[in-house]
Amino acid sequence: RKGQDVRIASQLGILMDSNKATSSTPGVVVVASTNSVDAIDPALRRYGRFDIETDVTVPNKKERLQILELYTRKIPRNSCDLESIAASCNGYVGADLWALCREAIKSAIRRSLIAKKDVKKDSSLTMEDWKNASSLVQPSITRGITVEIPDVTWNDIGGLKDVKTKLRQAVEWPMKHPAAFSRLGITPNRGILLHGPPGCSKTTLAKAAANAANVPFFSLRGDSSSSSSAASERLLSTLLTEMDGLEEAKGVLVFAATNRPYLLDAALMRPGRFDMILYVPPPDLEGRLEILNVHTRRMKLQSDVDLRKLAEDTELFTGAELAGLCREVGTAALRENIDASVVFDRHFQIVKNALNPSLTKEAIDSYSSFRKTSSRSGCLE
């Protein structure tokens, strides 16, 4: 395939080079489209070949309205608020909207058939039709993503008392006390950015928040391996348009997590986008003790195991490393005796001594320094 691709690309290049317009021959305009512009041979993307590039992105609310109007222009829709339908169709692309309109129209026709009316003359769209349609047509971007309510709860996360409290307030208060929010004229948070060293439960916190709110969680990963700045810029701009689109969508909260917050664009930090920024630190002594407790809940511990002493001896360990330690301890006990049902302190010692924490004091300082600079500017948290 690869060789064939290269041959086709160079053939196309040759054809385009020989396609110079003269005054007598106006020439040919070549228009091409792609889903992955980065996969296009750079030789084709230079001046003289494909020298104009435009991004055709996911439609915004206004564009969605225009598309809906276009596909329903032949059927009366007097009682429908197309604008609110467009607002609720976040993430739908043109093809999705077309499918949505088709299903809505089908539903309207079905209704007039049942009522024995003249389909051509008497069909008209109602909000009910749109409801039927949207239960059938989901935005294609979410196809293949399993959307589930995570089973992680706040109790599965050790330590991080302050972070948990702030998250609970941001997630649970707007649901439990909507009247209080409207009384004081405040709007709930729209975006929460968690930052801090790897393995310290940023993702787990987001899952626990989704669980508490009883809403599905799905995660998108800004691929860290694609260091191409064009790719990350596109991701960023998609995120920004999406977040602006969410202004109308009530009850949507965007969580983002990063280990490198200083790489994020200032545009993302604008109030109204990520309006709460929380540092998720590595666990302190009490935090480590709680994490060890969480991950040994289902383990039988011999009385010589002193988790507090272990917490003291595991400074710089992240939550992920402590979780890994507990997992390994069970294996160590089994390695000694395949019939073992209890773990001893010696198993903890063996595993702990074989582990080296990946964090250092300096690394932690640099992770937490973003918090200091950002809170000094006074616009965050």
Q: How far is the CB of 321 from Mg ion (least distance, A)?
A: 14
**Through-space distance between the first and last CA atoms of the chain, rounded to whole angstroms:** 51
Return the one option of ligand ATP, Mg ion, none that residue 333 interacts with (CB less than 5 to 8 A, by type). Answer: none
CA atoms within 13 A on the CB side of 10: 5
Which parts of the chain fold into alpha helices (H)?
2-17, 61-71, 82-87, 94-114, 119-122, 127-136, 161-176, 178-183, 202-213, 229-245, 285-295, 307-312, 319-336, 345-354, 361-376
Binding site for ligand ATP (CB under 6 A): 157-160, 198-204, 257, 259, 283, 291, 294, 319-320, 323
- Which residue number, 112 or 259, has a Cβ lying nearer to Mg ion? 259
Q: How far is the CB of 302 from ligand ATP (least distance, A)?
A: 22
- Which residue number, 207 or 273, has a Cβ lying nearer to ligand ATP? 207
Q: How far is the CB of 224 from Mg ion (least distance, A)?
A: 11
Instruction: Give 254's strand partners.
Output: 191
Q: CA-CA distance, 74 to 71, in Å (whole number)?
A: 8
- Which residue number, 164 or 202, has a Cβ lying nearer to Mg ion? 202
Contacts to Mg ion from residues 182-221, by CB under 5 A = 202-203
Q: How far is the CB of 180 from Mg ion (least distance, A)?
A: 32
- Which residue number, 90 or 204, has a Cβ lying nearer to ligand ATP? 204
Q: How far is the CB of 348 from ligand ATP (least distance, A)?
A: 17
Amino acid at position 68, single letter = L
Taking alpha carbons only, the member of 235, 232, 238, 221 closest to residue 145 is 221
Taking alpha carbons only, the member of 193, 167, 169, 361 closest to residue 282 is 361
Instruction: Give 193's strand partners.
Output: 256, 277
Two structure tokens written together for 300: 């039988």
Return the one option of Mg ion, ligand ATP, none that residue 158 interacts with (CB less than 5 to 8 A, by type). Answer: ligand ATP
- Which residue number, 123 or 201, has a Cβ lying nearer to ligand ATP? 201
* 293 is a contact residue toward Mg ion (CB under 5 A): no
The residue at minimum Cβ distance from ligand ATP is: 319
Return the one option of Mg ion, ligand ATP, none that residue 319 interacts with (CB less than 5 to 8 A, by type). Answer: ligand ATP
- Per the rule left: phi > 0, alpha: psi between -120 and 50, beta: everything else, 18 is alpha
- Which residue number, 199 or 261, has a Cβ lying nearer to ligand ATP? 199
Q: How far is the CB of 206 from ligand ATP (least distance, A)?
A: 8
Interface residue list for Mg ion (CB under 5 A): 202-203
